[in-house]
Amino acid sequence: MSGGPGRLRWRIYWLILMVATLSFIDRFNMNVAVKYIGAEYNLSPVEIGRILGAFGLGYALLQIPGGWLADRLGARLILTLALLWWSLFTALTAFAGPFLWTVRFLVGAGEGPALPSANKLLGRWLAPRERGRGSSVFLLAVGLGGIFTPPAVAWAMTVYGWRPVMVTCGLLGVVVTALWHLLSAEHPGQHPRITPAELQFIAEGRPEPRPATATPWRRLLHPSVFALGAANFMLGYVTYIFYTWFFLYLVNERKMSILAGGYWSVTPFFAILAGAPLGGFVSDFLVRCLGHPWGRRIPVVAAATLSAALLALGSRHTEPYGAILILGLAAGCNSVCAVSSWALPNDISERHGGSVAGFLNTLTNLGGALSPVLTPKLATDYGWVAALDFAALFMVCIAALWLLVDPRRRID
């Protein structure tokens, strides 16, 4: 990933990966904890879904304010405050009792500004030709968090209980907050270790800086951005099935033990870990070869169509381990779609990238908030095949919507 003189920008990338991975660890740890919480409080699957959905709701509602604050006050500052906020409420989850829904909502609200802020920093630190690969950081974080969290947390909660594990995750976040704030910078030119050659490389291909202006919210209603927002809503719905219900699907539907479910539930995240950088590389390569819009469009249309087929096939596969592998590949295809989606905010706007990312990720996570609630309802009433067929239908719609997405229309 060197791609030019100096490597400091990629060190910032790895710092953002560290922060983003922690955000997904603190998201996924609850997927295992609810198995114990549900038994302790005698909760139904729909009630468990509401608790899991509380995070997604808080997360969605703070995307736009968080991205706007990143544009106005500085993405590094907002990311630091967000990281500290969600870490403290992650620790408080252990003591929430009857207020568990509220605390999980506040964890989600804390994480809400994180990815729009991080995406703005990536747009600022990486050259435009590197944006597809840079956007893979969020999917790599999903993969790393998803691979590490279920087996490690399932083991730790079996040995020590769920409350000490949640407190430990919160304390880890305080340490990461300090590292991030000490080693990062808002602008490349503000970092003492940046070289003139790397500054020049980062600046290549950018439009000339313009005076500060108000965020052009009305331009986000353009059909291209609206189509991308609708596609993100559906992608969030499908993705959150893997984030929230896949572990319980293996334990409750495929009749695996808690430890076996913890180990096998990482399969989609291995696929995400492979699909994200591949999708970023292909997206950047096709943009160089074909330009916009087809450079970003082709990988999404192909991956979304394949994901739909895999979801329909995996839900019907009777052998559990084969079904896990097929569904895992579907998650990998989803990560290819998400990489191009994350590259779009900085393609559309240099100055307002945080606000655009917040707007789009709000829609992603409104879909994500709906998914943990609607999925068990569909599975209870009609079976898991129907629940996953519904997700497959959304992936077909995503492929169609991306035919309308055109990042050449900038909002600046």
For 206-264, the pLDDT digits (tens) are: 665 555 566 666 766 677 788 888 999 999 999 988 887 787 788 878 888 877 877 78
Lowest-confidence region among 119-123, 197-201, 204-208? 204-208
Q: What distance in Å separates the CA atoms of residue 263 and residue 252, rounded to the nearest whole number?
A: 15
Is the pLDDT higher at 232 or at 283? 232
pTM to 2 decimal places = 0.72
CA 268 to chain CA centroid, nearest Å:
14
Lowest-confidence region among 3-7, 105-109, 343-347, 402-406? 3-7
Q: What distance in Å separates the CA atoms of residue 301 and residue 308, rounded to the nearest whole number?
A: 11
For 302-331, the pLDDT digits (tens) are: 999 999 999 999 989 988 889 899 999 999
* Residue type at position 338: A
Q: What distance in Å separates the CA atoms of residue 173 and residue 169, rounded to the nearest whole number?
A: 6
Residue 205: predicted pLDDT = 64
Q: Which domains does the chain have, with CATH numbers?
A: 8-200+217-404 (1.20.1250.20)
Whole-angstrom CA distances from 15 to 8, 39, 79, 112 are 11, 38, 12, 18
For residue 103, pLDDT beyond 90: yes
Residue 3: predicted pLDDT = 46
For residue 367, pLDDT beyond 60: yes
For residue 108, pLDDT beyond 90: yes
For residue 66, pLDDT beyond 50: yes
Instruction: Please report which helix (H) or strand (E) contains residue 91, including its range.
Output: helix 75-92
For 292-308, the pLDDT digits (tens) are: 888 888 999 999 999 99
Residue 386: predicted pLDDT = 93
Pairs from 187-191 (Cβ < 8 Å, separation ≥ 24) = 187/124, 188/8, 188/9, 188/124, 188/125, 191/8, 191/12
Residue 212: predicted pLDDT = 54
Q: Residue 184 in contact with residue 76, Cβ under 8 Å? A: yes
